Amino acid sequence: MSDPIVTLVTAAAFPELDSDEAGLPDALRERGIEPRIAVWNDPSVDWSNAGTVVVRSVRDYAPNRLEFIEWAKSVPRLLNPASVIEWNTDKHYLKELAKRGMPTIDTMWLEPSQNLSRHQVHTRMPAYGDFVIKPAISSGGRGTGRYTSTDGTSRMNAISDAIHHLEKGRTVMVQRYHQEVDHSGEISLIYLNGLPSYMVKKEPMLHPRFRGGNTVQEEIAHSKQATEDEWRWGERIRKALHSYIKDTSGRDEQLLFNRVDIVRGGPNDEEEFYVMEISLIDGSLYLSADESNLEKFADAIAVRAFW
C-alpha cells in the first residue's frame, strides 16, 4: 500500500512554503506521508490526484478572492472545507459572531456601495483616541494601519487610506485601537481537529508612528501556557463558529485547524475578552514558536490523511 499523499498549498511567492512551515514536509514524511507542495493557481497541478489538500501559505488570496474561492470549491479533499474558507475570506464574518453573542471590537463598516464623500468618510472616523483602518478582505495584516484622531496628518492619512480602498471596491473597517493589545498583547489559541492544542502570545504589530499609517511590522509570537479562562473563552468562540457552520450547511465540519485571536478586556471594559479574528485559511499557526507545535500539526494532518 502506497503512502497517503498530502499536498500543502502555497502561493507563487512562497514556493517552499512560509519559513514558519519549512519543517512540515519532513515531519509528514516521518509519519508515513508523501508530502507535496503546490501553488494554488498553478494550472499544471492535477488537484484530483493531490490527496488530502491542506491550505497554508496562500498570502495572495485576497486580491484574487473570487478565483481563489472557485479553486477551493474544485478541490476534492480540501482542509479546511471550501464553504468555511469562503466565509472566512471576508471579515464581515465578525458580524455573524457578534450576532451569536461574541464580544467583538467596535467597528464602523464603510461600504463602496455607499459612495461616501471625503467629508462623509471624515465624519465616520473616531473623534478621540487611536484607531485602525483595514480592508475587510486582506491577508497577513496587509493594508492595515494605525492612526490617531487628534493628529491632523495622521487623520488625513487615515481618510486617504480609506478612500483608496473604497475606490478599489473594498469594504473598509474602522476600529478603535484596543489599548490592551499594547499592555498584554494579543492571544492566539490554536485548535487542531477540533481540540485545544496550544497558545501563543503576540507582541503588538501596530505601533503609534502616525505619519504613514502603514505601521505593521514582523509578527513576534511566544509560546505560552493558556490559562483556564483563556481556553474557556476560546471554546465559547469555537462553539459559535461551529453553530454557524451547522446552521448554514446543515451539518457540522471538523476543521483541521482553527486559530482564535482574542485580546483581554481593559479595566473599564464590560467583557473579559474580545474576539479579534478567526483564522481558518492562511493565518500563521506559529509552528516555530515551540518545537512541539510543528509535531502537533503534523500529527493532526496525519489523522486526516489516514482516514
* CA pair distance 35, 77, nearest whole angstrom: 15
| C-alpha cell belonging to residue 280 | 481558518
Could you tell me the maximum CA-CA distance found in the chain, to the nearest angstrom?
67
Which pLDDT tens digits describe the chain residue by residue (307 residues)?
679 999 999 999 999 999 999 999 999 999 999 999 999 999 999 999 999 999 999 999 999 999 999 999 999 999 999 999 999 999 999 999 999 999 999 999 999 999 999 999 999 999 999 999 999 999 877 888 999 998 999 999 999 999 999 999 999 999 999 888 888 789 999 999 999 999 999 877 665 543 344 444 567 888 999 999 999 999 999 999 999 999 999 999 999 999 999 999 888 888 899 999 999 999 999 999 999 999 999 999 999 999 8
* CA pair distance 158, 133, nearest whole angstrom: 7
Complete domains list, the chain, with CATH:
5-89 (3.40.50), 107-176 (3.30.1490.20), 180-203+219-280 (3.30.470)
pTM of structure: 0.92
List strand residue ranges (DSSP E) for 207-252, in order.
Answer: 221-224
Residue 89 DSSP class: T
* CA pair distance 195, 191, nearest whole angstrom: 5
| C-alpha cell belonging to residue 119 | 467629508
